[in-house]
Structure 1
Amino acid sequence: MIEYASVPALVALIFKLILVVYSARSPIKNAITWLFLALLVVFTLLNLDEFFFLNYAPRIGMTPIVNAAGFVYIAFWIPAIALLLHLAVVLSFDRGSVFRRPAVIFAIYAPIVPFEYLLLFTNKFVLEFKPFLYSILRVPGPLYWIGETWAILLLSATFAVLVYGARGSRPALARVRARLWLLALSPMILLVIYMILAHHMGWRRLTFPVHIPIVVTFFLLMTTYATHERPHPGGFYRFLYRLFDLESYLPWSKAYRRKTALYDRIRNMIAGIGDSDSTKSIVRQLSDVLQCPVVLMNRERLAVETGQARELAEFPRAALPPVDRLVVAHEVARDLPDLRSLMAHHKVAAIVPFHPHSRAASWVLLGEGFSEQVYTPVDFDEVKRLFDRLADHMLDEQMHMRAELTLARRETQELHRHIADAAQHLHAIEKQLAEHKNARHENPPPSTADAAGHDAVAQEAATSRKSLADYVADLERRMIINALERCGGNQAKAAEYLGLRPNTLHYKMQRYGMVDQKTDE
């Protein structure tokens, strides 16, 4: 039969076992995940010990086995507190930091061995255990205060280190992870400190083995979410795949104001995207909205670039066709390591495909500033709406351009037909003129009527004599006029319509007398 007081420990033990399995099976293994797995194992063993003496102490009394379970309980707490501080240091400081040097890590774990010796093999730390409410309570030895002071100092240091790691100057994801750890750790630290003080003050309301499992389980659930990467970004799990920024929900915080401004810029761009003059203006506006360099590429060439995008523009286009979904650099380290290394080398934070399986496929490359603006599930939902709207707009533009190009091809074919007819007509006139010239040499001078006819033929030949370059120039001039009419006189859009650079179009317009030189100057 299970004692009522041991139910919280049993429920917490079940949760911890699930978390241990989840953490052990996590595909990403690094310093943080290995340390966290060790912490989970220690807390699970501690919880198992809690359940044992809470369930059996009320029934069998203070036997040597229950007394030994009390010593084991404190013995597990000593490495658990050291692991907490070690994890906080790894989360809050970069690899090159002085606080992550081996000497600092050794100083964190060094007291464990003497403390365990004093606890288990002497009576300097704890003399014995006695019944306390529905649990047991240690009888402190002469050096027990040293262990309590060490525990309070390390827990306070853990909290202070995480506060430092949550500072605004750190990268967004590191900052958010540290804040989640702070939220999870605060109740546990406060309860542990309260318990230590309560035992000295004689307060008899709360006990370690009954109430600590609740806050420890809350801590482990939150930190598991903050520490491990989730398997899939889609569906319901998008809210577990990426981390929430708790500060962004506080109306007085800077993060809240930044997020509000970002969402307003995104919605304004979605509303006004149909009024954009050209693809280049859209890319520039996207760069302003996301506050990062942006490059638009298609299969053959670099289409548009904005901002300080030199590294992005050099990204190899051969690596883009396999990208058929939104790819964020730090999220593909395991699945796409080669692409991840390319993105890191060219300072690409994310790649967004537009219709990747079509002939008109294009990709938007976003610079490193993107990850500072967009990192929470809500951020990605808003950005996805923007990218979906951009994809639809660009597809509409491409369909419109295809229709315009089809019409332009027909007009070009018609012009070529007129040129061919004119060339054939010119050839017939030249042939007729040659025949008249030969006849004039062979026969006597013609009569006045014949001379008049000859002069008419000659005049027609003279007025119709044009070179092929003249016909090509006429064709170009007519195509430019047509493009300008279709684009409302906008030279930039007309150049894009004709597949020319704006300065090339301007030069041709000057060449054909379509631009006032004085006005141009």
Structure 2
Amino acid sequence: MTIYAYSIPAILALIAKVVILYFSQRAEVQDDRTVIFRLALVLSIAMNVGEVAFLQKPFDSAVMYGALIYYAAHIPLMAFLVHLAISISVDNYRSRRFLPVYTFIYGYALALEILLLFTSRLIEGIEDFNGYTATRVPGPLFWLYELFMLISFAALLSLPIFGLSRRRGAVARTKCKLWLATVSPLAFLVVAVLVLLHFKIRWFNATVTAPLLIALFLAAVGYATHKRRIIELDFYIPWSRTRKGKIALYQLLAALAREIPKIESTEKLLSRFSKILGCPVFLVGRGLGFFSSTDLHGSAYRFPKPALNKIHRVTVADEIRDTEPEISALMKRHRVAAIVPFFPHSQSGAFWLLFGEPFGQRVYTPLDFRMIEGLFGKMAGMFLDKMIRAGRQNRRRSNANASEPAGSVALKQWQAAPDKPLEHYFAEVEAEIIENALKRCNGNQAQTARLLGLRPNTLHYKLKRYGLA
């Protein structure tokens, strides 16, 4: 089989989609939307196979089979894309109220498939198109296919616009923007081809012009459905309000990072952090209650401790809505948008930062999280110092004994002899934290260093200092 130049876009698109499929199977998010996306992707790959057959000469039975493959894959593909558009545009897309919509779109697609595969009333055959490709000979019911395409593309455009108009989270709105940015040129092209062919105007054919646009659109949809945090397109527009706001936020965070050593107390640090992010911030330690807060009446005070003990990584309520619905619902109930753990495996040195609900409106892109996560390592020392001082005031631990963890013993010793330097007790708690982290990583010092946010040589020094090497 000879490969012609007009086949190159379809071949390149096919290769790109195979790569997208590979990464889709290994992505961090795997749910019902990713399954629908992969089904759509496989159908789109089948379309590319049909497009390559379209572009062969002379026209023979292989070209007719290519036409059947193309249209047989195209029809359910559009149904799956409408389903994905609904899931991107509304939060409760699994609700039963959408069942009639799903029934209509999939039922319509099934009816077209039956007409295509078992009758000639949808497509009667194929014919030459400007000497380089082929196109369909429409049957008497081909208008049903054209109507289906118009309805589908109207849904692909209108649903994300509807999603942008609703009061939703920043990540959900960003996904709608990304969808619209990539589907708009594709919709314009396909509708233009349909209209021109309907009036027998043969300027260009979608088998040559559409493959790469479809691949770009599917790459964007795959990114939106497989990632919890996605880039903000407006940030890359130099004059946009979003870019100005993000740059101002990053400058404030960088300034705070430089000033942390000069800030006198945890309360002042949390107050500065709260003003920058525009949300209340709570600091809570294991067994010691709430240390500090910028919102004395916030419902986060009632957030249950057992639930905090299960959180070992940065957790955002909107990101775990499908994977951990109970924790997400609990966070929503207490108006907590995100939780950041510090040394969660330590018996006495664990504490958490809880951020109030407006947090998700300021911090939602990967770059946003990288900026604030850079602060957490610098904050850890001050928070641990706060925990030790809070332990002196906590007289409830009167039953301490030799079997207690090093951090608990250190707190008791400090209560009994507060005249010793703070570094003495800090070292005991730090030793316990490092020991627990080392056990968690099965003695792997490189993993332990990454877990604690330390350089390998710094960890090695501390291991020797505390006799843990």
- The TM tier, using the shorter chain, reads 0.7 to 0.9
1:432 is matched with which residue? none
Extract unaligned runs of 5+ from structure 1: 230-240, 412-521
Larger mean Cα displacement after TM superposition, 375-384 or 73-82: 73-82
Q: Which structure has more RCO (C-alpha within 8 Å, separation ≥ 6)?
A: 2
In our comparison, the structure showing a higher alpha carbon Rg is 1
Give CA deviations for 1:125-172 in whole Å, capped at 9, x if unaligned. Answer: 333211223221112234333422331232022101112213362111
Q: Does 1:256 align with 2:243?
A: yes
Which of 157, 160, 163 is residue 159 of structure 1 equivalent to? 157
Q: CA RMSD in A?
A: 3.5
Cα offset, 1:303, TM superposition: 0.6
Output the amino acid matched with 1:326.
V
- Greater share of residues in helix: 1
Q: Are 2:360 and 1:371 equivalent residues in the alignment?
A: yes
User: 1:378 is aligned with what amino acid?
Assistant: L
Superposed displacement of residue 361, structure 1: 4.3
Q: CA deviation at 1:207?
A: 2.4
2: CA distance between counterparts of 1:28 and 1:153?
A: 30
* Matched-pair contact (CA < 8 Å) for 1:293–1:309: no
Structure 1 residue aligned with 2:395: none
When the two structures are aligned, how many residues end up with a matched partner? 395
* Matches for 1:184-333 after TM superposition, within 5 Å: 184-200=182-198, 204=202, 206-229=204-227, 242-299=229-286, 300-307=288-295, 310-320=298-308, 323=311, 325-331=313-319
Distance 1:154 1:335, change over 3 A: closer
Among all aligned residue pairs of Structure 1 and Structure 2, give the percentage whose two residues are the same amino acid.
33
Deviation larger for 161-170 or 290-299: 161-170
**Counterpart residue identity of residue 365, structure 2:** T
Tell me: CA distance 1:265–1:76, structure 2 relative to 1, closer, same or farther (3 Å).
same
- Looking at structure 1, the residues matched to 185 and 89 of structure 2 have their Cα atoms a distance apart, in angstroms, of 20
Equivalent residue, structure 1, for 2:83:
86
Cα pair distance change 1:207/1:99, threshold 3 Å: farther
Measured in 2, the distance between the counterparts of 1:138 and 1:298 equals 69
The answer on whether the counterparts of 2:86 and 2:93 sit within 8 Å (CA) in structure 1 is no
**1:296, distance to aligned residue in structure 2 (A):** 0.8
Deviates more, 1:319-328 or 1:77-86: 319-328
Structure 1 residues 287-313: Cα deviation after superposition (integer angstroms, max 9, x where no partner): 222122211112323211222664322
CA contact (8 A) 2:285 2:387 kept: no
1:206-250: per-residue Cα shift (whole Å, max 9, x none)? 322222221111111111111113xxxxxxxxxxx6300112333
Q: Which residue does the alignment assign to 1:73?
A: 70
Give the AA of the match of 1:152.
Answer: L
Distance 1:189 1:310, change over 3 A: same
Could you tell me which residue of structure 2 aligns to residue 503 of structure 1? Answer: none
Which of 175-184 and 249-258 deviates more?
249-258
Q: Label 1:359 to 1:117 Cα distance change in 2 as closer, same or farther (>3 A).
A: closer
Q: More displaced, 177-186 or 29-38?
A: 29-38
Q: 1:324 to 1:82 in 2, by over 3 A?
A: closer
Q: TM-score, normalised by structure 2?
A: 0.72
Aligned partner of 1:429 in structure 2 is none
Q: Cα distance, 1:396 vs. partner? A: 7.5
CA contact (8 A) 1:309 1:367 kept: no
Contiguous gaps of at least 5 residues in structure 2: 391-410, 422-469
CA distance in 2, matches of 1:102, 1:262: 42
Could you tell me which of 339, 345, 351 is aligned with 1:351? 339
Inter-partner Cα distance in structure 1 for 2:332 and 2:14:
42
Q: Distance in 2 between matches of 1:96 and 1:67?
A: 38
SS at match of 1:137: strand
Residue 25 of structure 1: how far off its partner (Å): 5.4
The one-character-per-residue Cα deviations of 1:428-478 (angstroms, maximum 9, x if unpaired) are xxxxxxxxxxxxxxxxxxxxxxxxxxxxxxxxxxxxxxxxxxxxxxxxxxx
| DSSP 3-state at the match of 1:244 | coil
SS of the equivalent of 1:136 reads strand
**Which residue type is aligned with residue 270 of structure 2?**
V
SS of residue paired to 2:210? helix
Deviation at 1:70? 1.5
> How far apart in 1 are the matches of 2:179 and 2:97?
19
- Matched residue type, 2:3: E
Amino acid at match of 1:15: A
Pair 1:361–1:72, CA change in 2 (3 A):
closer
Q: Write the deviation string for residues 77-130 of structure 1: whole angstroms up to 9, x where unpaired.
A: 222222222221222123279895211222223322333344344443333211
After superposition, the Cα gap between the structure-2 partners of 1:102 and 1:398, relative to the gap in structure 1 and judged at 3 Å, is closer
Distance 1:42 1:152 in 2: 19
